Amino acid sequence: MEKMISACFIYFLLIYSIPAQFNTITINPRAPALAEEKLFSEQRIGVYIQSEIGPGEQFVFSAGEGRQITITEPNKTVYFPGTFSSGSTYSITQLSGPRTCETGTINLTGIVQNEDIIIYRGCGDAPGYSTLHCQLKAPAGTAVTFQNNGSNDITVKTDSNGFCNFNFRNLPDSSQHNITVKSAPAGMVFTIKGTPGYATPYSRILIEGDFSYDLISRGNNDSVSGTFFESWDPGVSKEPDDNGRYVVFVSQAQGLCGSTGKYRQVYWRDRLTNKTIMISRAPDGAEGNGNSFAPVISVGSMYVAFESYAANLVADDRNAVRDVFLWRRTIEGGELERISTGPGGAEANGESFEPSVSGMGGHVAFSSSATNLTESPVEVSGVNVYLWQRNKTPVLISKDHKTGKGVGGSKPSIDMNGYRIAFCSYAYTLVPDDNNNLWDIFLYERNTSNVSLPLRRITMAYHGGERNQGDESSSRVVTPTISGDGRYIAYSTTASNVVPDDHNNAQDVFVYNTETNSTVRVSVDSNGIEGNGDSPYGQGERIALSYNGEIAAFTTRAANFGTPAGNVVMYNLNTKKMTPVSSITGGYVSTPSISRKGNYIVFGCSLPLDGRFNSSGLFSRYMGENQ
């Protein structure tokens, strides 16, 4: 029997949430379009049983005045004899039946309005039958038809929060169940989890649906979208269930969340509810009056750090330079604070940028040319790396191991606990015996036992000596990424002696293990063959790492990774498998971000990828579980 459930939220509200005395629903099958129909004064009242009725079972209900009905079939409305006048009082009672419907004795009383009344009741499972309880989690408004064992169609639709609960009823105990998708929006894929095999009273099924490609650079309700050429810096949260639900990005698209398009703004988006928020706003709701960049999102999506030239995001911003801000999500929408300040909230006297946020938003690493950020003024040179901690002034990280002077550093990346920070520096006095006169990647450990020397240089040759220059300039921009657990650090270089047998004369991606003090090259194919082009595309691109550092995603010009040159790929360090993320020709892709376990990759593309929208932009790519 086909059951059409077009308003799943209302369905479950009726069955499980509303007290019995209010458990009614009014339906007007005539869909009145004429004023005269509002005068219709005689209505019908019926009862609809939504659970299995076994052979020979009967449920008897009374509406008073000798009017009774006997229900012997489920999923069918049975009306009481005659009609009920609008304005009159009705009272429905269960007189008999093998089970009490809902909880306690039904005694529904109400006033007849100008519509027929249908009372939906759940009367439990008949002996020998079970109900398979299912929940669909998919973008808000998603309609899907499911089947069990190739029949028993049920069409459901997720509510505004992206959820829908539904049941397959009347299943004989211990009967085998097999939930499949009969119809769904094009491009949507599903993962079905839960009690396998056979129906029992405790069977539960979770069904997660998402689009293979989802255009994320768009506003609420599929309104304005930002194209590839006006949208940047996509990032995805690393929540434990790895659902890729929350993303951040930058866009200059006019009309997006009310933007004038004059400046680049930062946005936070909930992919499940299809809601987008501009977070680079002033307290009075005005958009930022300067460009904002580089958003990074915390694990639970509660915090977003970003840099901005806007002077109206917080009160008394008068330093006329770029600052680092931290946004916190609230019930009302969100609130901003400026964190690139010195003791007592003093404004920075130089630019602050390149933020990286810890998992719970309690620590932010950033770069700054300011000289007044620390509690005890120290001499600094150029741009340095600082660590902000709530209720504390920033701490200088990139300092000479002997003098304490800030000697330069940039591009910080912080782990989820805020204990470890990886950054790049051209200075040769951060650690002893740095003699290559080149950039290097350093690891700062806040909780190190070696207090006198909290820095470690990690970009060394495989034989323990200095890394060579490759074909890159000595002023090359390099951006490290530390994994969420702090164990791995990824970076790219053209140096040919980081690992043995590097002969491709190209930029490669490397991942350093902080525990074993070893480095592997991950820009190789599934057979270990080195790439025949640069990985990533360009200088300074950040490599995306999963929380445990075992999956890396990056752009590549190599054409031997299972996809044409000029795409995004991901490499699994455990399985040593290279997997294409995109597969386009004649277009461009941008630096990716990766979810906690690698189920989702977000990146930009100059070609449309989401079949629902004829637009380039920023996209989320569902890679499936256990990549």
Alpha-carbon Rg for the chain in angstroms: 30
- Pick the more confident residue, 627 or 472: 472
Pair (55, 148) in one structural domain: no
Q: Give the model's confidence band at 103: pLDDT under 50 very low, under 70 low, under 90 confident, else very high.
A: low
Pair (114, 148) in one structural domain: no
Tell me, what CATH number does 193's domain have?
Answer: 2.60.40
Contacts 24+ apart (CB under 8 A), 6-13: 6/155, 6/157, 7/157, 8/156, 8/157, 8/158, 8/159, 8/164, 8/165, 8/166, 9/159, 9/160, 9/164, 11/120, 11/166, 12/165
H or E, element range at 11: helix 8-12
Residue 427 main-chain phi, psi, to 5 deg: -70, 150
Residue 14 carries which DSSP code? I
- SS3 category, 269: strand
Report how far residue 62's alpha carbon sits from residue 94's, in angstroms, rounded to the nearest whole number: 6
> Is 280 inside a domain boundary?
no
Q: How many CB atoms lie within 10 A of CB 455?
A: 22
Give me the chain's average pLDDT, please. 89
Instruction: Name the burial class of residue 498, with classes exposed (0-12), middle (13-18) and buried (19+) by CB atoms within 10 angstroms of its CB.
Output: buried
The answer to whether the predicted template modeling score (pTM) of the entire model surpasses 0.85 is no
Residue 9 has pLDDT above 70, yes or no: no
Residue 195 vs residues 94, 134, 198, 234: alpha-carbon distances, Å: 34, 10, 8, 36
Pair (12, 68) in one structural domain: yes
Pair (27, 104) in one structural domain: yes
Pair (148, 64) in one structural domain: no
Residue ending a domain, among 121, 138, 170, is: 121
Q: Give the model's confidence band at 532: pLDDT under 50 very low, under 70 low, under 90 confident, else very high.
A: very high
> Is 82 inside a domain boundary?
yes
> Is 453 inside a domain boundary?
no
pLDDT in tens, 409-464: 999 999 999 999 999 999 999 999 999 889 999 999 987 665 556 899 999 999 99
pLDDT in tens, 75-86: 789 999 999 998
Contact by Cβ (8 Å): 205, 132: yes
Q: Encoding tokens for residue 326? A: 């931290």
Q: Give the model's confidence band at 475: pLDDT under 50 very low, under 70 low, under 90 confident, else very high.
A: confident
Pair (88, 153) in one structural domain: no
Contact by Cβ (8 Å): 492, 535: yes
Q: Which residues have CB under 8 Å from 454's CB, separation 6+?
A: 444, 445, 446, 448
Contact by Cβ (8 Å): 134, 146: yes
Q: Which pLDDT does position 12 carry in this prediction?
A: 37
pLDDT in tens, 310-334: 999 999 999 999 999 999 998 878 8
Report how far residue 107's alpha carbon sits from residue 218's, in angstroms, rounded to the nearest whole number: 49
Residue 16 has pLDDT above 90, yes or no: no
Please report where in the chains the tokens 């495989």 appear, as a residue.
462
Residue ranges with strand state E in 27-105: 42-43, 45-49, 59-62, 68-71, 77-79, 84-85, 89-96
pLDDT in tens, 150-160: 988 999 999 99
CA 380 to chain centroid: 39
pLDDT in tens, 543-560: 999 999 999 999 999 999
> Is 200 inside a domain boundary?
yes
Residue 15 carries which DSSP code? I
Residue 32 has pLDDT above 70, yes or no: no
> Is 627 inside a domain boundary?
no
Report how far residue 455's alpha carbon sits from residue 452's, in angstroms, rounded to the nearest whole number: 9
Report how far residue 252's alpha carbon sits from residue 232's, in angstroms, rounded to the nearest whole number: 9
Residue 518 has pLDDT above 70, yes or no: yes
pLDDT in tens, 222-274: 778 999 999 999 999 999 989 999 999 999 999 999 999 999 999 999 999 99
Residue 225 carries which DSSP code? B
- SS3 category, 547: coil
Report how far residue 39's alpha carbon sits from residue 46's, in angstroms, rounded to the nearest whole number: 21
Residue 18 has pLDDT above 50, yes or no: no
Contact by Cβ (8 Å): 279, 270: no
Report how far residue 519's alpha carbon sits from residue 580's, in angstroms, rounded to the nearest whole number: 23
Pair (38, 91) in one structural domain: yes
Residue 509 vs residues 414, 434, 469, 497, 535: alpha-carbon distances, Å: 19, 22, 15, 13, 6
Residue-range definition of the domain harbouring residue 69:
3-121
Pair (99, 17) in one structural domain: yes
Residue ending a domain, among 52, 86, 121, is: 121
Look at strands 129-137 and 204-211 and give their pairing: parallel
CA dihedral 66, 70, 76, 80 (to 10 degrees): -10
> Is 402 inside a domain boundary?
no
pLDDT in tens, 159-171: 999 999 998 877 8
Residue ending a domain, among 177, 211, 245, is: 211
Domains of the chain: total: 2
Beta bridge partners of 47: 78, 119
Pair (97, 14) in one structural domain: yes
Pair (21, 76) in one structural domain: yes
Report how far residue 442's alpha carbon sits from residue 435's, in angstroms, rounded to the nearest whole number: 14
Q: Which pLDDT does position 408 carry in this prediction?
A: 96
pLDDT in tens, 487-506: 999 999 999 999 999 999 99
Pair (95, 154) in one structural domain: no
Pair (110, 148) in one structural domain: no
Q: Which pLDDT does position 375 carry in this prediction?
A: 87
Reading phi first (left if > 0) and then psi (alpha if -120 to 50, else beta), residue 467 is in beta
Q: Which pLDDT does position 107 carry in this prediction?
A: 57
Q: Which pLDDT does position 74 carry in this prediction?
A: 82
> Is 256 inside a domain boundary?
no
Sheet with 89-96: strands ordered across: 68-71, 59-62, 89-96, 107-111
Contact by Cβ (8 Å): 106, 20: yes
> Is 247 inside a domain boundary?
no
Peptide bond preceding 536: is omega within 30 degrees of 0, i.e. cis?
yes
Look at strands 151-157 and 3-4 and give their pairing: parallel
Percent of the chain exceeding pLDDT 90 equals 72
Residue 536 has pLDDT above 70, yes or no: yes
